[in-house]
Structure 1
C-alpha cells in the first residue's frame, strides 16, 4: 500500500510542479528497430499490491469512516495480484530478443537518481527529449536504450463527497512508459496508458466481489496489451499506433444510483 501511495503521489507531484507544458505522447520511433545499438535496459516498477484509491472532497475524519466501511473491499482487492502486468517484462524481452536485441533487466532504484535537467535543443520541432538527462546513466547501466514501465495505479477507485460515495467503485490500471536513447536523451516512445471500467451487473457481492475482481484483471490485461502493441515492430509501412495520454477505457456503464452506495 505504501508503494502504491508513493507512486500515486509522485505522479500527482510531477503533474503539478512548475508550469512546464506536459509531454505529449510519442509513438515508437521505428528507427529503433534498425539501429546498430542493440542493448535495452528494461526497468519495471509496480506497487506491492493493488489498492482502493479514494477520490473527491474528503476530510481527515472522513478517511477513518470510509476505511471502516470499505474494510472488506479493501482487503479483498489488496489480496489480488499484478501478475498480468509483471508478465509484460517477459513478453517484451522475448519479442525484443527475437529482433536481435539484448535485454538487460534493471531493478528500479528505491530513490530516484539526481539527474540534471535537459534542455531541448529545438523545442519547436517534433523530436522530444526526456526532461532529465539520462546520458550519465549509460555507463552505469551498460545499455543503449532505457525502457521504463511504471504501474502508477492499480486496483479500484471510488469517488466520495465527505464520507458519502458518489458513484460505484471501478477497476483501474494505469501505466506510464518511456523509451530513452541513452546517447542523446531522446524520447523514442512516451505514453500514459489508462484503463478504467465498472463491473457489469451488481458490484457489491462481498466478500469475493466477482464482478469487480474480474473487471480488475480485464483492465490490467488491456493495459499490458497496449504496452506490447505500442512497442511492436511495424512491418510494411504499417501505421504506428499512438496511445493518447490519459486515455480512459470505460466499458460498462455506472450502475443505477440506488445500488451505488454501500
Structure 2
C-alpha cells in the first residue's frame, strides 16, 4: 500500500513539473571521441527493486482495493532484479577504455547538490547545456565528463479507472541519460529511453507470471542496448556504429527478431 501511495504522489509531482519546456534529445556529440581522452564519471541510479506502477484516474481509496487485488503480482515483480540494467556500467567501462578513456564510478549523493541555474550563452543555436551549472562539481568528482543514467521506471504498469483495470499489465523500463562536459556544462548527450511491451499469450499465470516476467527482462535488456548504442562511437563517414565482431553478430541476430512495442 505504501508503494502504491508513493507512486500516486510521484505521478502528481510529474504532472506538476511537466509544464516546463522539455529538453530536446541530444545525440552524442562525436567530438567526445575525437578530443583528448579523459576521465568519465558514471553515476548510475536505479530503484532498489522493480515495481507495479498504476496509471489513470485513481482515487486514494481505490489504492487499497487495487493493492489487495494485485498483491500477488506486486510481490512477484518486486522480487525480480535490475541486474541487466546495472550491468551497463561494466560494458560502458570496457567500451570507453577501448577508446582510451578512463571510467570512474560515482556514488549517487543522498541529497542532490544545490547547483545554480545555468544560462545558455546563446539560446538560438543548437548547442545545449545542462539546466544546472555542474562545473562547480568538477574538482569534487575529479572527472572531465559526467555521465548520469537513471532508471526512471522499472517493472510493470497497468491503467485503471478507479479500482477497475482498463487494460492488461505491461512490462516497462525507462532510462533517462545525459552526458555533461564538466568544463563548459554542455550537454554532449541527452535522451529519455522508454520501452514497453505486453506479455505474449496469457499474462495472469500466478504466482510466477512467466509471460510478464520474461517480457520485463526483455524490455530491460532493450533499454540497456539503447544506452550502449547511443553512446557508441560512430564512423564519421557513414554514421554507423563501430562494432566489434561479437557486437556485430549480436546486432544481426537481434534485427531478425520482431521488435517489442516502444513508447
TM-score using structure 2 length: 0.87
Shift of residue 37, structure 1, vs aligned partner: 4.8
Whether the 8 Å CA contact 1:27–1:240 is kept in 2: the answer is: no
Shift of residue 75, structure 1, vs aligned partner: 0.3
* 2-structure distance, mates of 1:123, 1:61: 46
The Cα offsets for residues 113-155 of structure 1, whole Å up to 9 and x where unpaired, read as 0000001111111000000000000000000000000000100
Match of 1:194 in 2: 194
Shift of residue 240, structure 1, vs aligned partner: 6.6
Whether the 8 Å CA contact 1:88–1:224 is kept in 2: the answer is: yes
* 2-structure distance, mates of 1:118, 1:19: 19
Whether the 8 Å CA contact 2:7–2:53 is kept in 1: the answer is: no
Distance 1:22 1:9, change over 3 A: farther
Structure 1: runs of 5+ lacking an equivalent: 242-248, 253-262
Shift of residue 15, structure 1, vs aligned partner: 6.6
Whether the 8 Å CA contact 1:11–1:152 is kept in 2: the answer is: no
Whether the 8 Å CA contact 1:58–1:163 is kept in 2: the answer is: yes
Match of 2:118 in 1: 118
Match of 1:228 in 2: 228
* 1-structure distance, mates of 2:43, 2:25: 19
Match of 1:129 in 2: 129
Shift of residue 17, structure 1, vs aligned partner: 3.0
Q: Which moved more, 1:5-14 or 1:133-142?
A: 5-14
Match of 1:251 in 2: 260
Q: Which moved more, 1:134-143 or 1:103-112?
A: 103-112
Distance 1:229 1:7, change over 3 A: farther
Whether the 8 Å CA contact 2:4–2:67 is kept in 1: the answer is: no
SS at match of 2:43: strand
* 2-structure distance, mates of 1:70, 1:158: 11
Q: Does 1:61 align with 2:70?
A: no
Whether the 8 Å CA contact 2:4–2:63 is kept in 1: the answer is: no
Whether the 8 Å CA contact 2:5–2:63 is kept in 1: the answer is: no
* 2-structure distance, mates of 1:162, 1:8: 13
SS at match of 1:67: helix
Whether the 8 Å CA contact 2:7–2:54 is kept in 1: the answer is: no
SS at match of 2:172: strand
The Cα offsets for residues 60-95 of structure 1, whole Å up to 9 and x where unpaired, read as 110000000000000000000000000000000000
Following superposition, which runs of at least 4 residues in structure 1 exceed 6 angstroms of deviation? Answer: 1-12
Shift of residue 105, structure 1, vs aligned partner: 0.4
Structure 2: runs of 5+ lacking an equivalent: 242-257
- Say what the alpha-carbon RMSD is for the aligned residues: 2.6
* 2-structure distance, mates of 1:3, 1:177: 25
Match of 1:72 in 2: 72
1:201-240 map, 5 Å: 201-239=201-239
* 2-structure distance, mates of 1:69, 1:232: 44
Q: Which moved more, 1:13-22 or 1:69-78?
A: 13-22
Whether the 8 Å CA contact 1:56–1:161 is kept in 2: the answer is: yes
Distance 1:188 1:5, change over 3 A: farther
